[in-house]
Chains A and B, each alone.
Chain A
Amino acid sequence: MAGSNPNAKPMDLTLKVWRQKDKNATGQMVTYPIKGISPDMSFLEMLDVLNEDLLRKGEDPVAFDHDCREGICGMCSLFINGRPHGPERGTTTCQLHMRHFKDGDTITIEPWRAAAFPVHKDLVVDRSAFDRIQQAGGYVSVNTGGVPDANAIPIPKSIADKAFDAATCIGCGACVAACKNASAMLFVSAKVSQLAMLPQGKTERKTRVENMVAQMDIEGFGACTNTGACAAECPVGISLENINMLRSEFIYAKATSENM
């Protein structure tokens, strides 16, 4: 492996993994001992090793979500040792390395838990509730025509920076997983405030927040108690400021929008 440390000692671990055959099955935690894990491996590579073991034995491999494995797609989603994306702050599961664990450790691995994120199989949950919230208003309608000049719309640097920070949300759902209420407020607020701050997003500003909050409620996410768990566990550091901006957007929209 590139950049691997030849002195790093391989580790033996005990994994406790949530196994569930399908949507309707009742699942349970199953214990797997695993040997010879390099501290340089990522958490997902460690699970790949487990799955190779299982396949060799003719058992069903553990299903888990992943895609880019570089912290940008938001597909990986594991609740590791009681924390979404594991013990490291600001890290997705795919970017979590085994050097943060010790030889002999027991590691529990569970799926995100929320009524709005039903378990498909093992560690894979259905996050299409997020897609439906996005479809309810997380977009900017642009009519066709000539491409505007890049500098035609002035945006102050501080606003551009804040909007960009909100835009870094990768839609992983760790905020929902961390929240005691399984609330999606951090995700929804990142989408709402990102577009509310930019001139291009102003046209649909009021309808957007009204529709996205309504969809969030329809999907069965909990309310926000301001515990701050979401922001503390968010792998890209989406801030609580966004939630408060969603609220002022919501109050402004409800008081002034044309929608009855």
Chain B
Amino acid sequence: MNWFTKTFSSTVGRKIIMSITGLFLCSFLVVHLIGNLQLFKNDGGEAFNVYSHFMGTNPIIRTMEIVLLLGFVFHIYDALVLTRRNKAARPVGYVNNHPEENSTWSSRNMGLLGTVILVFLIIHLWNFFVPARFGGLEPIVVENVEYDNLYIKVVQSFQIWWYVLIYVIAMVALAYHLIHGFQSAFQTLGLDHKKYTPFIQKFGVAFSIIVCLGFAIIPLYFFFLV
């Protein structure tokens, strides 16, 4: 192995990858949420459909889509490798164990929370991304230009109670994943100082709650108010 593969296959190096990809995924969440806010515009979905058309066709966005996919792949791959290694590091467990005395639940269940997010991600992509990208949506004309009506697909999907429930559960899982993960990512990079660490910790909790609440409000809004 050369120095590069040695670095990133060590336990410390793999976490560096998880941390960078994790923070990158956080930045994606912000962009995704801001874009989705157009669903709340009272224009029959016009702004949202134009926006989603732009996201599906702009070459910069399409390139970033590949980067995003790679981010998920590396994050999930190292999550798998490390979680398996961590389980193997304790083949025999304790008969009596009280981890709640020394650590938070979310910090001990990142793999479980991540799996919930992954399952959600597959459902979510299947329902919205696949038809938006590969066809299957109704057309709609805005100012003489034809667009895919992704908006109506969103409205219809969120009339189904169990679909709304899946979204809310997934966002709770994501919130807990990030309440531990956001500040953890900075520690993983060795970024720890009394000047800024307390801020990162508070910001991370606020970020997790605000972003996940923002996403969860969308299905609830369409279910109860539209």
Contact = CB atoms under 8 A, between A and B. Distances in A.
Q: Do A and B make up one complex?
A: yes
Interface of A: 16, 18, 29, 79, 81-83, 87, 108, 110, 113-116, 178, 180-183, 213-214, 216-217, 220-229, 232-233, 240-241, 243-251, 254, 259-260
B96 A82 contact: yes
A83 B188 contact: no
Sort A-B residue pairs by CB-CB distance and give the 3 closest, nearest first: A248-B190, A82-B98, A247-B190
Contact of A246 (B7, B12, B82, B101): B12
B107 A250 contact: no
B121 interface: no
Nearest to A181: B86
Contacts of B94: 79, 82, 110, 113
16 contacts: A79-B94, A83-B102, A114-B90, A115-B88, A180-B90, A182-B89, A213-B12, A221-B89, A225-B86, A228-B102, A232-B102, A232-B103, A248-B191, A250-B12, A250-B190, A260-B3
Contacts of A18: 95
Contact of B108 (A83, A180, A246, A249): A180
B91 interface: yes
Interface string B73-111: 000000000100110111111111111011110011010
Contacts of B89: 114-116, 181-183, 220-222
Given A113-B94, A178-B102, A247 B86 contact: no
Contacts of A249: 190
Interface in B4-63: 6-7, 10-16
B95 A29 contact: yes
Given A178-B102, A213-B12, A244-B191, A223 B95 contact: no
Contact of A113 (B86, B90, B189): B90
B146 interface: no
Nearest to B11: A223
